[in-house]
Amino acid sequence: MPAFSIFRKSKPSSDKDTSSPPPYRESAGPVGGESTEKTMSKTPTRIQATDTPQWEWSTSQCQAWFYEFLISKLDYAPEAAGEVAGKLDGFGPNIYSRTVRDWRELLGHEQGEGIYSWLLGVRRQEGAIPRNLGMSHGGRSGTEKKR
């Protein structure tokens, strides 16, 4: 018996499987002017605010996560969230490389510090920062006097 036959449905060979694959769930919607189709093709399942941002995510996936995060965690209206999420440049590593100052500039003091802290809390989760890569935050900003 060939190995692949183990995984086939146990239907008689005369029956064709006419069922289609399950539909993709629509992602967060267009961000930065992208069409929903383009976002869906890159994001087969819906990205949620509670997902850990992934190191390998594309720019559109990062923006979809940020859009959901802004609405769910920071109470943004969808239109405002789309505008702010569209300003998130780069891809997966850029989310974790941003400093607290970068987040403050994008979101304001309180919300910027909040998302920065949240990201520090999830950075060791599966798929976030690779385990063989060390990243540190919170060092000297360069404006302080050395002692």
- Condensed to tens digits (0 to 9), the pLDDT of residues 61-84 reads 999 999 999 999 999 999 999 999
Pick from 1-15, 94-108, 116-130: least confident: 1-15
> Domain for residue 53, yes or no?
yes
Q: Is residue 42 part of a domain?
A: yes
Q: Is residue 68 part of a domain?
A: yes
Q: Which residues of 68-78 are buried (b: 16+ CB within 10 A; e: fewer)?
A: bbbbeebebee
In this structure, the number of other CB atoms found within 10 A of the CB of residue 144 comes to 7
Q: What domain range is 64 assigned to?
A: 36-122
Residue 137 — pLDDT band, cuts 50, 70, 90? low
Q: Is residue 57 assigned to a domain? A: yes
Domain membership flag for residue 134:
no
Give a yes or no: residue 19 inside a domain: no
Question: Is residue 128, in this structure, part of any structural domain at all?
Answer: no
Distance CA 113, CA 100 (A): 6
User: Is 108 domain-assigned?
Assistant: yes
pLDDT, position 48: 96
Structural domains of the chain, count: 1
Report pLDDT for 53. Answer: 97
* Whether the predicted model's global pTM rises above the 0.85 cut: no
Decide if pLDDT at 23 tops 50. Answer: no
